[in-house]
C-alpha cells in the first residue's frame, strides 16, 4: 500500500486516542461536581447528561476513526497478508462504539433501569474485550513480519495490563477509584493506538 495512505490510517489511530482523552477532560470540566476518580466514564454521556451532544460528537470521532485505523493496521503489516482477526475485532469495536453512543447511553448514574441502559452494559463490555483481544491478535501476527516483530512483547504487555485493569475495575466498580481504573484501561489501549499509528506513519511504501 502506498506510504501516503498508511500515513493517513496511522494518523486516524493517533487522533482517535486523542479525541477520547479530549472527551474525558472536556466532559469533566463542563460538569461541576463530577469526579474522574470515582465516577464512570459513561456518566458523562448518560441519558439527560449536560453537554451530551458535544461529547457524543467527539466520541463519534473516536469510534469512527478506529475503523480506518484497523484497516490500515491490516494493510500495513506485510501488505495485508496474514490473519484478519486483529483488524476485524478492532473495526467491530469501532462500529459497536458508534452504535453505543448513538442509541444506548447508560441510565443516570449508570444504573440498570431501562432496556437502553441494560444494552449499554451488554455492548460496552464486549467492545472493551474486542479492543484488548485485537491487540493480542496483532501481537501474534507481528511475529511473522520482521519490521513489526519488536512490537510483539509490547503488545502482549499492553493486553495483559488491560485485562488486569479490567478485572480490578469490576472488583472495585463501586469504590472511590472505580472511575480511575476505567480510565487506566482506556489509557492502556490509547497509548497502543498512538504507538501503532506512529509506526504506520513511518512505514515505507
pLDDT of residue 2: 62
In the prediction, which pLDDT does 110 show? 85
Are 159 and 139 within 8 A, CB to CB? yes
Quote the CA–CA distance of 5 and 146 in Å, as a whole number: 21
Q: Are 63 and 13 in contact (CB under 8 A)?
A: no
**Closest alpha carbon to 9 in 78, 70, 61, 59:** 70
pLDDT confidence of residue 172: 86
Q: How many CB atoms lie within 10 A of CB 101?
A: 22
Q: What whole-number distance in Å separates Cα of residue 18 and Cα of residue 32? A: 23
Q: Which of 89, 77, 159 is nearest to 127 (CA)?
A: 89
Q: How far is 158 from 4, CA to CA, in rounded Å?
A: 28
Cell of 16: 482517535
pLDDT of 204 reads 63
Which parts of the chain have pLDDT scores under 70? 1-2, 204-205
pLDDT of residue 173: 79
Sign for the pseudo-dihedral over CA of 79, 83, 89, 95: positive
Provide the pLDDT for residue 1: 54
Distance CA 135, CA 13 (A): 13
Helices 3-29 and 52-76 sit at what angle, rounded to 10 degrees? 150
H helix intervals, the chain: 3-29, 52-76, 85-103, 115-142, 152-171, 178-202
- The pTM assigned to this predicted structure is 0.94
On whether the CB atoms of residues 24 and 44 are closer than 8 A, the answer is yes
Amino acid at each position: 500500500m502506498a506510504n501516503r495512505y498508511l500515513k493517513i490510517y496511522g494518523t486516524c489511530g493517533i487522533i482517535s486516542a486523542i479525541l477520547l482523552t479530549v472527551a474525558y477532560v472536556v466532559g469533566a470540566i463542563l460538569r461541576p461536581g463530577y469526579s474522574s476518580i470515582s465516577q464512570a466514564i459513561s456518566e458523562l454521556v448518560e441519558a439527560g447528561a449536560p453537554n451530551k451532544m458535544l461529547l457524543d460528537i467527539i466520541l463519534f470521532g473516536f469510534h469512527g476513526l478506529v475503523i480506518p485505523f484497523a484497516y490500515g493496521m491490516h494493510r500495513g503489516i506485510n501488505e495485508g497478508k496474514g490473519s484478519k482477526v486483529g483488524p476485524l475485532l478492532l473495526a467491530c469495536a469501532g462500529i459497536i462504539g458508534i452504535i453505543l453512543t448513538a442509541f444506548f447511553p447508560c441510565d443516570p448514574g449508570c444504573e440498570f433501569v431501562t432496556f437502553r441502559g441494560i444494552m449499554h452494559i451488554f455492548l460496552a463490555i464486549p467492545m472493551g474485550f474486542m479492543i484488548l483481544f485485537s491487540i493480542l491478535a496483532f501481537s501474534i501476527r507481528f511475529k511473522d513480519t520482521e519490521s513489526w516483530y519488536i512490537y510483539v512483547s509490547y503488545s502482549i504487555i499492553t493486553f495483559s495490563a488491560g485485562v488486569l485493569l479490567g478485572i480490578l475495575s469490576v472488583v472495585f466498580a463501586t469504590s472511590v477509584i472505580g472511575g480511575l481504573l476505567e480510565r487506566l484501561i482506556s489509557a492502556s489501549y490509547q497509548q497502543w493506538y498512538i504507538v501503532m499509528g506512529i509506526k504506520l506513519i513511518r512505514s515505507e511504501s
